[in-house]
Chain A
Amino acid sequence: MDLTNEDVQDILHVLDSLPFGELSLETARFRLSLRRAGNGDWTQALEILVPPALAADAGAPAGPAEPASSGGAAAGPRRPAAVSPAGAGLTDVRAPLLGTFYRAPRPGAPPFVAVGSLVRPDTVVCIIETMKLMNSVTAGVSGTVTEILLANAQFAEQDTVLMRIRADR
């Protein structure tokens, strides 16, 4: 049986009549800490310790389960350190936050840019989708796209180099 909000209220009710300012309760299933501030207000921290009861797969045709930190993307996640440093005169376009890299505004649409595209600082070069937000990434400089380092729909950690641009002089 797990603890409900009502259970916690009942425990607090009991504690209010007692001279204790703190309660720690740990069972095999949960760990509950209750703390009373000077003004009598309570704070709770509850941790459910029991592991999930994983049933067999639903018979899905999908392959083996992925590690929880990986996406359903075309390839594994790209990490910031995984690419060679930019050469002289090249500017990196980096992932402003971790998420899925998209080269086009929608599936089937032409990509925002390709190698050789001329860009200005405010040119949108790709999208990073994080927590259901589509974040437009702009070039940041005027120049020519020389390299695109990720595949479409690949997952990128924050600060991953996505593209390189040869800046205009």
Chain B
Amino acid sequence: MALLRRILIANRGEIAVRILRTCRLLGIETVLAVSDADRDSLPARLADAVIRLGPAAPAASYLDIDAVVRAAIAARVDAIHPGYGFLSENPRLATVCDAAGIIFIGPTAGQLEAVGDKVSARRHATAAGLPVLPGGEVTGEQQAIDLAARTGWPVLVKAVSGGGGRGLRPVREPAGLAETLSVAMAEAGAAFGDERVYLERYVTSGRHVEVQLLGDGQRVIHLGDRDCSVQRRYQKLVEEAPAPLLAPQLRAQLRQAAVALGEHLRYRGLGTVEFLVDCERDAFYFLEVNARIQVEHPVTEAISGLDLVAEQIWIAEGNSLRIQQGSVELTGHAIECRINAEDWTDSFRPSPGLITVAEFPAGPGIRVDTHIQAGSQVPPWYDSLLAKLIVSGRDRPEALARMQAALGRCQIGGVATTIAMHAQLLGTEAFTRGGPDTGYLDQFLRRRGTGHQAAGRLSATGGRHG
């Protein structure tokens, strides 16, 4: 047991602000690790102290394990909170922290290894009795073609060390496989420092439902489910809790399966088990484990009344869970819209730049997690998430109506944003009804005739965190 008094936040953007907020409530001192591009950011202004990691490029700053640990030692912190993305699921950071006597706020290095490697994660899921899609690791071009012939087309190429929707590429026919493998391996190498990829059958119509877990290394509980099916290129744009229109038995099975995997791993900390739900057959498949806090955690906080960062810190201090499964009460409905610096009318072209206006809605049932204010720079080196608008209500219709009104009061100037897309999307009949599948957003964009350049010179790939 170790009371944490001073924490290094090894991240940036809205999640850095989010972690700062809980630290302040708990009376914990904060030191923010920044790249040169973020020295004047909103989280830098909010932190008790700021320490430089390195140049703007992520590889030289937020992804540099040695720089992060050096900063932690120099800042004399008790612990590192890695946020999401960057080094949050890096077992080597956890190991180096252990060796340096610094607490890594997250699972053990062994657990990060077990689920961070997607081939190993599949093995653990199978061992815990969870259904997985047919597939396996790719060792060469010919072997990949043979493997795809066995799983059936289309297939999805995934980075072994990927996660949160990053490093995923669908391939529809054998002719495109070789080039996709090459690019996927390049991206995986650049993004995760691990070029290995695997492939599995690609389910074209399904819902993305995930279960929030919290464990203390002995006991594991779930904090309900979330639906994150509104995605573009595997990047979530809208999330809600609970997942709407799930058969009660299926919902119970998903939650049980997630807890079974958590127990199998003797999971410690906050984590999410992602599933692909085949609604027509009421079947589900294990996708991956995200062994960290997620972008969409606020919708779970909104319906559970919990502070998930506070629970992470509580567990990191060596305590046992202070919540019983039976005392978890999920009430109402919450929706989150990710507001990104992207021009959604032009292939979601990234739109870095200077923020001139940043006005957000305020009031009951409204929460805004953001790292921007008037005068903020949105640098081109990092992801495009500007703000998360989280709205809750007694039920889904109330939350939806509140979100529509709240979106109307969001004003961001200086960069292109996805605000207007959310307003249109949430007004569609399919979204209002609830439970659209992961292909829905693409259909919506195609119908509008935006977001898909027919003959453009951009073919954006890659992605962000989940």
Are chains A and B native binding partners rather than an unrelated pairing? yes
A residues at B contact (CB < 8 Å) = 2, 4-5, 8-9, 12, 34, 37, 41-60, 62, 65-68, 70-73, 96-100, 105-107, 109, 130-138, 140
Q: With a CB–CB cut-off of 8 A, which chain A residues contact B25?
A: 4
User: Considering residues B44, B357, B381, which has the most beta carbons from chain A within 10 angstroms of its beta carbon?
Assistant: B381
- CB contact under 8 A between A130 and B54, given known A43-B361, A107-B189: no
Q: With a CB–CB cut-off of 8 A, which chain A residues contact B37?
A: 68
How far is it, in angstroms, between the C-alpha of A34 and the C-alpha of B97 when the chains are bound? 43
In the assembled complex, 9 residue pairs joining A and B whose CB atoms fall closer than 8 Å, in A order, are: A2-B46, A42-B361, A45-B358, A45-B360, A49-B45, A66-B36, A68-B39, A72-B57, A136-B458
Report yes or no: B362 in contact with A44, Cβ–Cβ below 8 A. Answer: yes
Report yes or no: B460 in contact with A133, Cβ–Cβ below 8 A. Answer: yes
Q: What 3 pairs between A and B have smallest CB-CB spacing?
A: A106-B186, A72-B57, A72-B55
Q: With a CB–CB cut-off of 8 A, which chain B residues contact A138?
A: 457
Query: Which of B21, B189, B191, B350 touches A97 (beta carbons < 8 Å)?
Result: B350
How far is it, in angstroms, between the C-alpha of A45 and the C-alpha of B370 when the chains are bound? 12
- CB contact under 8 A between A53 and B49, given known A8-B362, A59-B70, A59-B74: yes
Q: With a CB–CB cut-off of 8 A, which chain B residues contact A2?
A: 24, 46
Binds A, one of B106-114, B117-125, B127-135, B372-380: B372-380
Does B220 have its Cβ within 8 Å of any Cβ on chain A? no
Does B463 have its Cβ within 8 Å of any Cβ on chain A? yes
How far is it, in angstroms, between the C-alpha of A131 and the C-alpha of B186 when the chains are bound? 17
Report yes or no: A41 in contact with B36, Cβ–Cβ below 8 A. Answer: no
Q: With a CB–CB cut-off of 8 A, which chain B residues contact A8?
A: 362
Report yes or no: A52 in contact with B75, Cβ–Cβ below 8 A. Answer: no
Report yes or no: A58 in contact with B51, Cβ–Cβ below 8 A. Answer: yes
How far is it, in angstroms, between the C-alpha of A154 and the C-alpha of B459 when the chains are bound? 20
Q: With a CB–CB cut-off of 8 A, which chain A residues contact B350?
A: 97, 99, 130-131, 133
Does B197 have its Cβ within 8 Å of any Cβ on chain A? no
Interface secondary structure of A, over-half rule: loop
- Minimum distance in angstroms from A67 CB to a CB of chain B: 7
Scan residues 29-61 of chain B and give those whose CB is less than 8 A from a CB of chain A. Answer: 31-32, 34, 36-42, 44-57, 59-61
Q: With a CB–CB cut-off of 8 A, which chain B residues contact A52?
A: 32, 34, 39-41, 44-45, 47, 50
Does B420 have its Cβ within 8 Å of any Cβ on chain A? no
Does B437 have its Cβ within 8 Å of any Cβ on chain A? no
How far is it, in angstroms, between the C-alpha of A106 and the C-alpha of B67 when the chains are bound? 24
Does B71 have its Cβ within 8 Å of any Cβ on chain A? yes
Q: With a CB–CB cut-off of 8 A, which chain B residues contact A47?
A: 373-375
How far is it, in angstroms, between the C-alpha of A8 and the C-alpha of B362 when the chains are bound? 8
Q: With a CB–CB cut-off of 8 A, which chain B residues contact A46?
A: 373
Report yes or no: A71 in contact with B361, Cβ–Cβ below 8 A. Answer: no
Q: With a CB–CB cut-off of 8 A, which chain A residues contact B44?
A: 52
Report yes or no: A72 in contact with B461, Cβ–Cβ below 8 A. Answer: no
Query: Which of B36, B360, B409, B459 touches A37 (beta carbons < 8 Å)?
Result: B409
Q: Which residue of B lies closest to A153 (CB)?
A: B57
- Minimum distance in angstroms from A140 CB to a CB of chain B: 6
How far is it, in angstroms, between the C-alpha of A132 and the C-alpha of B460 when the chains are bound? 10
User: Considering residues B38, B50, B459, which has the most beta carbons from chain A within 10 angstroms of its beta carbon?
Assistant: B459
Q: With a CB–CB cut-off of 8 A, which chain A residues contact B67?
A: 58, 60, 62
